[in-house]
Every structure is written in structure tokens, then in C-alpha cells.
């Protein structure tokens, strides 16, 4: 059994589990360690303090609803934490504190018929599923089931698996072929049910997921102020042309639809999601990989509506986008999905947590004009309006635990195998051990990526005879090369595969060109017209207020950015570009018959990796820089 979050029964590539790929020290390995040592505990502490974990006790003991805490989806946060603890227990090789205790609380709150929700459950059956649009009950089951699957795959079935099965059976009775034709306002349960079906072999769960996917958009839910687009109930999944509405919901639904399509062999459905993904990437995705441009309803905007200012780009949408990309990669084998996942991981997922792991961005704006008011001790920041700093916790706190479970299972998103070889999709230091049809293979990947462009893959175990090692050359990496033995050859973007009789001790080395580059936006992205951004390798860069006053700077892309380092940013590569001040006159009215003022003298401007902004104190920031050339 593959010990990973996504284990399709068919597809081009076979995922490698968390026991087959282990991250070693490096960009992602270090973050996984931080997750283990800080983030998961931080989440547990806050969920205890806020009473979200305690809600299960309130429900189990039948205490009044006035004793419940948090929002209607608070249960799901606890489940995400459980999932993170399950993955981390597998990684650590021992159960992480809290896992068993919280599982016990959850189990105690489940009702005899399988229903489980602290918010609606204690009020009796008449309160169940009364508000599918906003109640999040099925959404919460989704996270429960994903946690249970993680636990079962890494530890074996236990109490949590039982709880999840009973809940899923209950859902099948209530919403199955003979039940009510409803769906959840927040998709999530679809992919969870497919995974439970994969785990247990019980086809009812797959059928239930299929029903949830197919009912959507016919429509299945009531209209709401944001319109049914908000929860993707405007158009059936297989007829939709693009991702739209609430970004996390859209991406979770698409992930579930891919799972259903793969398991049922429904190529039409798979192709529909692929087409939606293509247009979404081409017209509705930030340069960081972030998705969702609108604040008002956490939604995708229209094509090319990608304002950097007040950009939403929710952390959970980035997690969801990586989940979707991974599913599409497994189904098709195409490296473009890993390309987007890489961009999103480095520039949104890595940007959300502070370097100390104790504060998080909920939204990942691309421009921060001003600092918000100072943090008040004891007050939870709501955290959504960007204020130039991360928040230790949020009233709507979906993101920290979503990060926690993602980082804990991150090694499962790195590499795959097929009969003939291993494919490394994310270029990160790790150890890979798995079995091919020819026998067991072992690899050690070592790299300073993304700071360095050299990735070395050393063979430590090999079956004898020819087999293949494949490495993804990112789409931005024109001019890359691979070398092994005495051979050195150009490697175009895509998957470069070297088949030979790889022997222990041999190395395959990938060299990526890490020259910083200016990036220009499609001119239809009106909000960044006349601007340029800087990228280096997979990283997007930004200017931040500790280094410059940002409201009237322009840059000249004629000169290439120069590499530097900053004492206060550790091993990060920083950059310097030529900037010029273009401070306009202060006038009583900001529109006039004269074009912009001329620019001042050139001065150097430091750029830092976007994912590190806001770690040197509250800051203003911008990714897109006015082009004054």
C-alpha cells in the first residue's frame, strides 16, 4: 500500500509514499522539520486555546451549543490537524502527541448513526443538513476522512478509520442513490470519499463521490448573494470552461472530479478538468502561482483580472492547486502540472508561514502599500486584510492546519515511479527507495535548489540492468543540461529521462541556468501594465520596505539583476536592480494633462525572494515594479 494522500488505482505514474521518499535537509526538508517542531504544535495549541478541540467534548457530553466555539467549520481544522499528526507520526516513526487523544474526543462525539458535527449534531436530527449552502457538514466529513485515510495508510486501520467509515456510511444513506440529491456548499468530501474507496475497496464511497460531482451545477444548491458561481453550482463540472467562484472550493471540486474520472475511467470528465485548468493557468493565475484575485468572495476574477494590490491568493487555494496539479500529473504524466506545483509551493505555500513557524499569511498579496495597525495582544487578528505581517492565528483559520498537513506529507508530492524508472518532479534534497519491476532502487538527491541550479542524483541501490531516472527540467529553464559519467547533454524543459544500467555510486547531475530574469505580463492583465517582475529559478522576487521606499520607484530592465546576499536573510540569494525615483508632484487632484514626471538618478534596489517578505518586521512590498526604461 502506498503511504500517500493520493493513491489512484490507475494512471500514468505511480505515486511514491512518505516511506519511499524522505526529505533531507534543504529548502523543503527544513520546512518539514519546522512543521514537525513548531507548526503542528502551534496549531494544536491554538485549537486548544480557542476551544475548537474542546467542541468535541461539548458535543459528546451534550452540553448546550452556547459552549461551542469558533465558526461552523471549526471541526475541519481539528481534522486537518489530525491528518498532519498522522503524516508526521509516519515520518517520525512514532505517534505524535495528541493524535490518539484527539481521535478519542472525535470518536466520542459521533452519534450512533454515524453523524458527526459538533455544531449541528448536539441539536438533534432536525438540525442536520438544513443549510447545505453554508453549513459545511459534508466538508468537515471530507477532512475527517482524509485524516483517517492518512492514519490507516501509515499505521493501519484504527479508531479514526472506524469513525470515518461510519460517517461515510451515514453520508451514503443520506445522500446516496436512494437519498437526498444534495451536495455540500464547500466541495472537499468528493476527493476524500474516492480515497476512502481506494483504501477500503468499497465502491459505495466512489459512487457517492461521483454523485456529488455530477449533481453540481444542475443546480443542486440554493442561490446566494454571491450567486451559485461562488460554489461552482452554476454549471455542471463537465461543462464548465474555467475555474470560477471561490478558489478553494473550485480547486477542491476539480481535484475530486479528477479522482472520480480516474477511478471510473471517465476520460470526458478528466479532459474537462484539464481544459479548465489550462485556461485558469493561462488567464487566472498570479505569477506566484497564487489563485483567486477577489477579496469580496475569495474568488477567481474574470480572465486577466489579476490585481497585485489586494490580491487574495489564499494560502489554502495554493494548497488546493498543488493537490489538483498532483492528481493531473499522476493521471497524465505531463510535467506542466509539476511546473505549476513548483511555482506555487515556492511562492505561496512557502510564503505563508513565518520563518519561525508561528505566524501565517492567509492572503498572499502581491503589493502591500501600507502597514496595518499594530497587533494588539489578546486580540485575534482577522488576518484577511493584508496589513504587512503574518498573524499567529485567525478567526477563520483554515490555512495554518492546511499547511501543516501539506508540509507533513510533502515528500509524497516529490517523486513517482512507473515500471521502468523513477521520476523526480520536485527538485529537492531527499532519499528515494522504491521497487521497480526489475527490483529495488535507491537514490539520494542533493541540491542547494532553489539557490543553486545544480541537482545531483546519486544511485545507492540498483537492480542491475537498464532502468530510467527522469528529472523535470522546469519550463523556465531553457539552456539546462544533464551530465552523467563522461556524458553531458542539453536538457530541454520537460521530463529528461536517462535510461542505462544505473549502478550504485553513479550520479546524474542536472544543471539549471539560474540567471535572474525580467518577466513581462500579458498586456491583458491590466493591473500590472507597464510593470516588470523579477524571477530567478522558480522564485518570484519582490522589493520590500526595509530596503526601499516603494511608492514611487521604477526600474530599468535593460540591465540584468545582479546576485547578492543579505545578512538578515540567511542563505537566500537576493538581487540588485537599477531603480529610479519618479516622485510626482503633490497636487490637489491626481489626474492631469501632463504625463508622469521624469525619473531621477539611478540607484540600486534590493529584491528579495517573495516567500521571505515580512520576516524582517512589518513591511510594505511589491512584486510588480514600474518599468521606466
Grid coordinates of 489: 547533454
Query: CA-to-CA distance for 407 and 397, rounded, in angstroms?
Result: 17
Position 584 contacts a second copy (CB under 8 A): yes
* Residue 285 sits in the site that holds a second copy (CB under 8 A): yes
- The correct pick among 112, 268, 379, 601 for binding a second copy (CB under 8 A) is 379
Interaction between residue 295 and a second copy (CB under 8 A): yes
For 149, the grid coordinates are 485515510
Cell of 391: 498573524
93/590 with CB nearer a second copy: 590
Among 4, 308, 353, 453, binds a second copy (CB under 8 A): 308
Q: Which of 163, 260, 287, 318 binds a second copy (CB under 8 A)?
A: 287
> Does residue 274 bind a second copy (CB under 8 A)?
no
Q: Contact with a second copy (CB under 8 A): which of 275, 395, 435, 562?
A: 395
Q: Which of 548, 542, 545, 543 is nearest to 610 (CA)?
A: 542
Does 296 sit near a second copy (CB under 8 A)? yes
Contacts with 69 (C-beta within 8 Å, 6 or more apart), sequence order: 50, 51, 52, 54, 55
Nearer to a second copy, 150 or 531 (CB): 531
Per DSSP, which regions of 232-359 are E strands?
none
Residues contacting residue 73 through CB under 8 Å, at least 6 positions apart: 136, 139, 140, 186, 398
| Residue 593 in the binding site for a second copy (CB under 8 A) | yes
Query: Should residue 375 be labelled a site residue for a second copy when binding is judged by CB under 8 A?
Result: no
Identified binder of a second copy from the candidate list 203, 551, 568, 603, rule CB under 8 A: 551
Single out the residue of 61, 522, 568, 603 in contact with a second copy (rule: CB under 8 A).
522
Map the footprint of a second copy across residues 198-257, applying CB under 8 A.
223, 225-227, 234
Return the bridge partners of 417, or none.
Answer: 14, 422
Contact 232, 216 (CB under 8 A): yes
Q: How many residues bind a second copy (CB under 8 A)?
A: 66
In the complex, minimum distance from the CB of residue 529 to a second copy, in angstroms, rounded to a whole number: 4
Among 181, 275, 282, 435, binds a second copy (CB under 8 A): 282
Nearer to a second copy, 61 or 551 (CB): 551
Packed helices 315-332 and 335-344: angle between N→C axes, nearest 10 degrees = 160
Q: Which of 49, 63, 218, 524 binds a second copy (CB under 8 A)?
A: 524
Which of 594/601 has CB closer to a second copy?
594
Q: Which three cell numbers stand for residue 478?
A: 531553457
Stretch that binds a second copy, among 306-314, 418-426, 493-501, 571-579 (CB under 8 A): 306-314
Residue 217 and residue 233: Cα distance in Å, rounded? 4
Shortest distance, position 418 Cβ to a second copy, whole Å: 25
Task: Using the minimum distance from each CB to a second copy, give the nearer residue, 203 or 551.
Answer: 551
Taking the complex as a whole, how short is the minimal distance between the CB of residue 385 and a second copy, in angstroms? 7
Residue closer to a second copy, measured from CB, 53 or 251 = 251
What one-character-per-residue DSSP string does 204-234 give? HHHHHHHHHHHHTTS--S---TT-GGGGT-S
Stretch that binds a second copy, among 163-171, 279-287, 323-331, 452-460 (CB under 8 A): 279-287
Using the rule CB under 8 A, is 294 a contact of a second copy? yes
Q: Which stretch binds a second copy (CB under 8 A): 75-83, 84-92, 500-508, 512-520?
A: 512-520
Give the x/- contact pattern for a second copy in 330-369, rule: CB under 8 A.
------x------------------------------x-x
User: With the C-alpha atoms ordered 277, 279, 280, 285, is the resulting torsion angle positive or negative?
Assistant: positive
Cis peptide before 450 (omega within 30 of 0): yes
Task: For residue 591, state whether it binds a second copy (rule: CB under 8 A).
Answer: yes
Enumerate residues 21-60 that contact a second copy by CB under 8 A: none
CA–CA gap between residue 432 and residue 414 (Å, rounded): 10
Quote the crossing angle between the two packed helices 74-92 and 137-155, to the nearest 10°: 10
Helix residue ranges per DSSP H, 265-314 = 267-283
290 lies in the binding site for a second copy (CB under 8 A): no
Q: How far is the CB of 455 from a second copy (least distance, A)?
A: 22
Cell numbers at residue 562, please? 545582479
Does residue number 525 form part of the binding site for a second copy (CB under 8 A)? yes
The three-state secondary structure class of 471 is: strand
Q: Output 18 or 528, the one with its CB closest to a second copy.
A: 528
Radius of gyration of the chain (CA): 24
- Is the peptide bond prior to 219 cis by the omega test (within 30 degrees of 0)? yes
- Report long-range pairs for 339-342 (Cβ below 8 Å, ≥24 apart): 339/472, 339/474, 339/475, 340/281, 340/285, 340/289, 341/413, 341/425, 341/426, 342/425, 342/426, 342/427, 342/472, 342/474, 342/538
Residue number with CB closer to a second copy (259 or 339): 339
Please name the helix (run of DSSP H) or strand (run of DSSP E) that holds residue 416, with its range, or none.
Answer: strand 415-418
Taking the least distance from each CB to a second copy, the nearer of 294 and 327 is 294
SS3 29: helix
For residue 595, state whether it binds a second copy (rule: CB under 8 A): yes
Nearest distance from C-beta of residue 344 to a second copy, angstroms: 13
> Rule CB under 8 A: which of 72-101 touch a second copy?
none
Shortest distance in whole angstroms from residue 293 CB to a second copy: 9
Of 124, 156, 378, 592, the residue at the interface with a second copy (CB under 8 A) is 592
Rounded to a whole number of angstroms, the minimum distance from the CB of residue 405 to a second copy is 26
Between the alpha carbon of residue 317 and those of residues 252, 322, 405, 496, the distances in Å are: 9, 9, 14, 30
SS3 of 175, please?
helix
Residue closer to a second copy (CB basis): 182 or 227: 227
- CA dihedral (89, 94, 97, 102) positive or negative: positive
Are 105 and 51 spatial neighbours (Cβ–Cβ below 8 Å)?
no
List contacts with a second copy (CB under 8 A). Answer: 223, 225-227, 234, 278, 281-283, 285, 287, 294-296, 301-305, 307-310, 336, 367, 369-370, 373, 379, 382, 385, 395, 475, 517-527, 529-531, 533, 551-552, 582, 584, 586-597, 624, 626
Amino acid at each position: 500500500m502506498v503511504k500517500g494522500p493520493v493513491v489512484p488505482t490507475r494512471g500514468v505514474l505511480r505515486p511514491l509514499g512518505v516511506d519511499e521518499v524522505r526529505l533531507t535537509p534543504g529548502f523543503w526538508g527544513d520546512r518539514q522539520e519546522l512543521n514537525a517542531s513548531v507548526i503542528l504544535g502551534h496549531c494544536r495549541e491554538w485549537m486548544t486555546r480557542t476551544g475548537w478541540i474542546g467542541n468535541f467534548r461539548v458535543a459528546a457530553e451534550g452540553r448546550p451549543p452556547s459552549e461551542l466555539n469558533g465558526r461552523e467549520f471549526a471541526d475541519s481544522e481539528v481534522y486537518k490537524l489530525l491528518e498532519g499528526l498522522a503524516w508526521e507520526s509516519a515520518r517520525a516513526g512514532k505517534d505524535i502527541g495528541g493524535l490518539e487523544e484527539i481521535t478519542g474526543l472525535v470518536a466520542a462525539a459521533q452519534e450512533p448513526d454515524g453523524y458527526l458535527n459538533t455544531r449541528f449534531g448536539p441539536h438533534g436530527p432536525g438540525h442536520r443538513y438544513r443549510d447545505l449552502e453554508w453549513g459545511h457538514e459534508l466538508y468537515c466529513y471530507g477532512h475527517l476522512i482524509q485524516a483517517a485515510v492518512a492514519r490507516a495508510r501509515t499505521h493501519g486501520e484504527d479508531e479514526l478509520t472506524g469513525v470515518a467509515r461510519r460517517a461515510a456510511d451515514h453520508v451514503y444513506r443520506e445522500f446516496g442513490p436512494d437519498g437526498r440529491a444534495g451536495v455540500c456548499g464547500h466541495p472537499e468530501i468528493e476527493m476524500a470519499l474516492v480515497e476512502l474507496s481506494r483504501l477500503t475497496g468499497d465502491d459505495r464511497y466512489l459512487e457517492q463521490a461521483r454523485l456529488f460531482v455530477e449533481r453540481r451545477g444542475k443546480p443542486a444548491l440554493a442561490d446566494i448573494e454571491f450567486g451559485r458561481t461562488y460554489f461552482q453550482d452554476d454549471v455542471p463540472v463537465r461543462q464548465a470552461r474555467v475555474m470560477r467562484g471561490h478558489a478553494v472550493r473550485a480547486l477542491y471540486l476539480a481535484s475530486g472530479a479528477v479522482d472520480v474520472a480516474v477511478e471510473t475511467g471517465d476520460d470526458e470528465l478528466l479532459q474537462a478538468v484539464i481544459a479548465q485548468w489550462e485556461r485558469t493557468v493561462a488567464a487566472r493565475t498570479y505569477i506566484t502561482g497564487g489563485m483567486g484575485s477577489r477579496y469580496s468572495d475569495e474568488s477567481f476574477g474574470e480572465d486577466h483580472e489579476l490585481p497585485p494590490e489586494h490580491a487574495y491568493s489564499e494560502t489554502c487555494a495554493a494548497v488546493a492547486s498543488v493537490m489538483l496539479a498532483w492528481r493531473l500529473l499522476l493521471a497524465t504524466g505531463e510535467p506542466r502540472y509539476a511546473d505549476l506545483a513548483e511555482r506555487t509551493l515556492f511562492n505561496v505555500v512557502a510564503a505563508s508561514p513565518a520563518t519561525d513557524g508561528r505566524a501565517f499569511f492567509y492572503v498572499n498579496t502581491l503589493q502591500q502599500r501600507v502597514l496595518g495597525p499594530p497587533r494588539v495582544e489578546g486580540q485575534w487578528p482577522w488576518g484577511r486584510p493584508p496589513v504587512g505581517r503574518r498573524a499567529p492565528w485567525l478567526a477563520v483559520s483554515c490555512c495554518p492546519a492546511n499547511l501543516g498537513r501539506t508540509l507533513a506529507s510533502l515528500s509524497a508530492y516529490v517523486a513517482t515511479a512507473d515500471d521502468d524508472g523513477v521520476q523526480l518532479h520536485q527538485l529537492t534534497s531527499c532519499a528515494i527507495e522504491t521497487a521497480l519491476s526489475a527490483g529495488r532502487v535507491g537514490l539520494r538527491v542533493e541540491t542547494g535548489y532553489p539557490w543553486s541550479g545544480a541537482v545531483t542524483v546519486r544511485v545507492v541501490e540498483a537492480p542491475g540492468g537498464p532502468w530510467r531516472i527522469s528529472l523535470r527540467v522546469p519550463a523556465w529553464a531553457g539552456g539546462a543540461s544533464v551530465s552523467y559519467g563522461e556524458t553531458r547533454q542539453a536538457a530541454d524543459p520537460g521530463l529528461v529521462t536517462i535510461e542505462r544500467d544505473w549502478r550504485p555510486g553513479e550520479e546524474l547531475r542536472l544543471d539549471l541556468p539560474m540567471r535572474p530574469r525580467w518577466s513581462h505580463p500579458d498586456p491583458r492583465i491590466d493591473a500590472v501594465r507597464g510593470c516588470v517582475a523579477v524571477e530567478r529559478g522558480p522564485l518570484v522576487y519582490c522589493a520590500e520596505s526595509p530596503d526601499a521606499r516603494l511608492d514611487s520607484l521604477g526600474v530599468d530592465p535593460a540591465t540584468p539583476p545582479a546576485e547578492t546576499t543579505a545578512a538578515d536573510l540567511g542563505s537566500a540569494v537576493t538581487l540588485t536592480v537599477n531603480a529610479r525615483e519618479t516622485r510626482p508632484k503633490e497636487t490637489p487632484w491626481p489626474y492631469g494633462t501632463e504625463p508622469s514626471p521624469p525619473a531621477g538618478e539611478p540607484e540600486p534596489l534590493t529584491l528579495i525572494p517573495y516567500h521571505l517578505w515580512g520576516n524582517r518586521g512589518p513591511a510594505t512590498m511589491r512584486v510588480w515594479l514600474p518599468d521606466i526604461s
